[in-house]
Amino acid sequence: MQKKIVLSGSRPTGNIHLGNYFGAIENWVKLQDDYDCNFFIADWHALTTGYADTKDLRRNTISLMADFIASGLDPEKCTLFLQSEVKAHAELFLLIGMNTPLSWLERCPTYKDQIANMTDRDITTYGFLGYPALQAADILIYKADYVPVGEDQIPHLEITRELARRFNFIYGKEVFPEPQPLLTKSKVLPGTDGRKMSKSYGNTIALADSPDEVKKKVMNMITDPARIRKDDPGHPDICTVFAFQKVFNEAMVPDIEEQCKGGCIGCVACKRLLQEKLSIFHTPIFEKRDALLTQEDYLKDVIHEGSKRASEKADATMQDVKEAIQIGL
The domains of the chain, with CATH numbers, are 5-188+296-325 (3.40.50.620), 199-290 (1.10.240.10)
Strand spans (E) along the chain: 5-10, 36-41, 79-82, 146-149, 180-183
Radius of gyration of the chain (CA): 22
The DSSP bridge partners found for residue 17 are 206
For the entire predicted model, the pTM comes to: 0.93
Q: What is the pLDDT of residue 296?
A: 97
Q: What is the pLDDT of residue 126?
A: 92
In whole angstroms, give the CA distance from residue 187 to residue 20.
10
Q: What is the pLDDT of residue 19?
A: 94
**Cα 222 to Cα 53, 200, 241, 278, distances in angstroms:** 33, 18, 7, 16
* Average pLDDT of adjacent 10-residue blocks, the chain of 329 residues: 95 94 95 97 95 96 98 98 98 97 88 73 88 96 95 86 98 97 86 92 95 97 86 90 95 94 92 97 98 98 98 98 94
In whole angstroms, give the CA distance from residue 256 to residue 262.
10
In whole angstroms, give the CA distance from residue 11 to residue 61.
9
Q: What is the pLDDT of residue 234?
A: 87
Q: What is the pLDDT of residue 153?
A: 82
The DSSP bridge partners found for residue 149 are 183
Residue-wise over 12-34: b if at least 16 C-beta within 10 A, else e?
bbbbbbbbbbbbbbbbbbebbee
